[in-house]
Amino acid sequence: MSFNSLKQNKSSIFNKLQKQLEDTTKVGTTDERMWKLTTDKAGNGFAVIRFLPASDGEDMPFVKLYNHGFQGPGGWYIENSLTTLGKDDPLGEYNRELWNSGDESLKEQVRKQKRKLSYYANVYIVKDTGNPDNEGQVKIFRFGKKIYDKIMDAVNGDELEGREGINPFDFWAGANFKLRAKKVAGYPNYDSSEFQDTGVLDDLDDAQLESIWKRQHPLQSIVAEDQFKTYDQLKERLDKVLNLQSSGSTERAPARTAETVVSTKPSFSSPSVSEDTVGETEQEVVVPQSETSSSNEEGEGDVLDYFRSLAES
């Protein structure tokens, strides 16, 4: 386009800009930094990824984030938990109060309101059968406790098996990770995912590996202070969602979790006795991808993103 065309077509250019800006602010807009495994209609998916080392200026190759997502009589509570930062959180305190009441119905409410755990790490996409355009790209991958446990198993090794521990986040002595998704009882299951043999990532030289390293995304911004509301702001929102303003703090308010929007088949067993561990001993019979609940963590994240936008509108 010439400069004269630029001037003559400024109105149409402005209209196009408006359309693009509207599109980027619609609910469900994807974060281009993030990568998610593509699955077919049957719920099956396969990819090969490599967990990457800590980015320049960061100490750890991953971060973890606690959040809550449920619906009460006053709307949705979709918030990051201050416990991520090691701080007191009003919902954590309220859940402990309900749990210590000994009332089984209140304990059930705690199970629906308890925090969820997600991990975030940079990964290099070696193979993506569902979306080959992703191959060779560096993305942020969100995963749950089951995949985290597989990472820890690789780190720790197994003396009985004679398997030495490895650093899965290492360019040279790490290992590619085969990520396999299957649908089990209606939920994604990642049990058959596994690390391959150790070796240099794609047999690349140091210059190529450095190029990948420089393309990594900062992770600390995900858990930065500005990603969390203050205690008072969270308390105000919690009171509104659970209609606590005019009632005692242990007033029963039915909660509906974000995962029940996806499925109506929650399954609970007896959890332990504090907010930090409520539900952490619950059986993950059909949903291996969740931290401490029977929810589908990967699918739930999309639902939480959607309802977070509604809650903030």
Indicate the residue type of 56.
Answer: D
Task: State the pTM of this model.
Answer: 0.74
pLDDT of residue 272: 31
Contact assessment for residue 165 and residue 151, using Cβ atoms and an 8 Å cutoff: no
The Cα 72–Cα 74 span in angstroms is 5
The model's confidence at residue 11, banded by pLDDT at 50, 70 and 90, is confident
Q: What gap in Å lies between CA 143 and CA 186, rounded to an integer?
A: 18
Position 277 scores a pLDDT of 41
15-19, 92-96, 254-258: least confidently modelled range? 254-258
Query: If you search the block for the tokens 């969100």, which residue do you land on?
Result: 142
Q: Which domains does the chain have, with CATH numbers?
A: 34-312 (3.90.198.10)
Other CB atoms within 10 A of residue 305 CB: 17
- Give me the mean pLDDT over the 107-133 stretch: 96
Residue 159 has a pLDDT of 83
Residue 176 pLDDT greater than 90, yes or no: yes
Confidence at 136, pLDDT banded by 50, 70, 90: very high
CA angle 144, 150, 153 (to 5 degrees): 140
**pLDDT tens, residue by residue, 265-292:** 222 222 333 344 443 322 222 222 233 3
CA distance 141 to 121: 5
Integer angstrom CA distances of residue 169 from 13, 23, 41, 60, 210? 45, 36, 32, 10, 14
